Amino acid sequence: MNWSDSTILLTGGTGSFGKAFTRLALKELNPKKLIIFSRDELKQHEMKINEGFDHPSLRYFIGDVRDQSRLQRAMHGVDLVIHAAALKHVPACEYNPFEAVKTNILGAKNIVSAALDEGVRRVLALSTDKAVNPINLYGATKLVAEKVFVQGNSYRTSDEANFSCVRYGNVVGSRGSVIPLFQKQRETGTITLTDERMTRFWITLDQGVRFVIKCIEQMHGGEVFVPKIPSMKMTDLADVIAPGCERKCIGIRPGEKLHEALLSKDEARHTVELNDMFVIQPEDPAWRYTEWEGSIPEEGYCYTSDRNNVWLTGDELRAYVMGSGVEVVGSTQ
């Protein structure tokens, strides 16, 4: 992958991941052109003017992933697409199911179709742990989107048109994170937890961006890449963000799991384990692809946040949170 000679299209480019990727790409990858594709002209303006994302290689393209013709225009001459656009707020997706389907599922289909028509060489989509055994609409739409991207490889007529996904857990400091809620609640002296047993996978924005870059460089088409990342207890996060505050348990919300999964037992049967990640291979590919070399998980293995062998301590979690730019009470930095 020759980054300096590549034109990149980044959907959802004004979001948390989009900004983090853009910042790192301009600093370390030096792409020939990086196109920020999103539907909100105000966020694009703020990103360029107020947040300093003004660079000769940057282009700002207004459009919606629901519009395939607009995507085709945006992908003309593009070598790589990173698909980060999605409706991801769980309650909003539950209340507006048709909108979630249009953006997360039909949008994925439009990305695949436009990329095939425009001869894009590589397409990588961002997914979520909520796509594994989904119990809410958001997770279900992301599961379908994964299937669309993986099987999109069967439509390609060239070895250059490859579609893959990355799947990881909660991102420290991203929009919609529980951290801002805890920050606001600590002013009252009481924070709410849905269940004190709850665990989650945790990854920083920088780690997520670097993992995406690594997967783009190694993808053959059809893989779902899962990083090995630590787990954390929600009670430990509460202690870091709001030490000394009273905890009030309000019960698990509709569509919420006690623990999340990044790899199911059924997926593990066609998964290769590497030192730092799992590679879920397509079960019955209709296209040529390269087998991954690594170990096969034992029968019945699943990768869940409560059965992880790597856990964040309070100090490590504090470092993660501070590294994301979030204020931690009692910190001297």
Q: What is the DSSP string of 230-264?
A: -EEEHHHHHHHHSTTPEEEE--PPTT--SS-EEE-
* 48 lies in some domain: yes
HSE-up of residue 292 (Cα within 13 Å, Cβ side) = 24
* pLDDT of res. 332: 38
Mean pLDDT of 136-154: 96
Phi, psi of 245 (to 5 degrees): -80, 150
Strand pairing category for 80-83 and 190-193:
unpaired
Q: At how many degrees (to 10) do helices 234-241 and 314-323 cross?
A: 60
The two tokens of residue 103 are 């953006």
By the 8 A CB rule, do 229 and 260 touch? no
Q: What is the pLDDT of residues 22-48, one digit of tens each?
A: 999 999 999 999 999 999 999 999 999
N residues, the chain: 333
The CA-based dihedral angle spanning residues 177, 180, 182, 183, taken in that order and rounded to the nearest 10 degrees: 160
What is the C-alpha separation between 218 and 187, in angstroms, rounded? Answer: 46
What is the pLDDT confidence band of residue 331, given thresholds at 50, 70 and 90? Answer: very low
What is the C-alpha separation between 60 and 210, in angstroms, rounded? Answer: 23
* 179 lies in some domain: no
**Residues with active-site annotation:** 130
3-state SS class at 176: coil
What is the C-alpha separation between 263 and 280, in angstroms, rounded? Answer: 8
Is residue 99 predicted with pLDDT exceeding 90? yes
What is the C-alpha separation between 274 and 193, in angstroms, rounded? Answer: 35
The two tokens of residue 252 are 């698990």
The two tokens of residue 173 are 């400091």
Contacts by 294-298, CB closer than 8 A, 24 or more apart: 296/271, 296/272, 297/263, 297/268, 297/271, 297/273
Mean pLDDT of 298-307: 95
What is the C-alpha separation between 171 and 208, in angstroms, rounded? Answer: 8
The two tokens of residue 20 are 């983090």
Residue 29 φ/ψ region, left for φ over 0, alpha for ψ in the -120 to 50 degree band, beta for the rest = alpha
Task: Please choose, from the candidates 176, 167, 180, the residue with its C-alpha nearest in 3D space to the C-alpha of residue 321.
Answer: 180
Q: What global pTM score does this model have? A: 0.93
| CATH number of the domain encompassing residue 8 | 3.40.50.720
Element (H, E) at 194: none
What percent of the chain lies above the pLDDT cut of 70?
Answer: 94
* 81 lies in some domain: yes
Q: What is the pLDDT of residues 47-98, one digit of tens each?
A: 999 999 999 999 999 999 999 999 999 999 999 999 999 999 888 999 999 9
Q: CA–CA distance from 126 to each of 13, 56, 132, 158 (Å)?
A: 12, 26, 14, 23
Strand partners, 220: none
* pLDDT of res. 77: 96
Residue at 307: amino acid letter:
R
Phi, psi of 148 (to 5 degrees): -60, -45
Q: What is the pLDDT of residues 150-204, one digit of tens each?
A: 999 999 877 678 999 999 988 876 666 788 888 889 999 999 999 999 999 999 9
* 330 lies in some domain: no
Is residue 230 predicted with pLDDT exceeding 50? yes
* pLDDT of res. 288: 67
What is the C-alpha separation between 29 and 20, in angstroms, rounded? Answer: 13
Mean pLDDT of 298-313: 94
Q: What is the pLDDT of residues 252-271, one digit of tens each?
A: 888 889 999 999 999 999 99
What is the pLDDT confidence band of residue 278, given thresholds at 50, 70 and 90? Answer: very high
* DSSP structure string for 99-126: HHIIIIIIHHHHHHHHHHHHT-SEEEEE
What is the C-alpha separation between 93 and 104, in angstroms, rounded? Answer: 10
* 215 lies in some domain: yes
Q: Which domain holds residue 108?
A: 3-172+202-229+262-304
What is the pLDDT confidence band of residue 333, given thresholds at 50, 70 and 90? Answer: very low
Domain count, the chain: 1
Is residue 327 predicted with pLDDT exceeding 70? no
Radius of gyration, alpha carbons of the chain: 20
Mean pLDDT of 229-257: 90
Mean pLDDT of 110-123: 96
Instruction: Share the mean pLDDT of the chain.
Output: 91
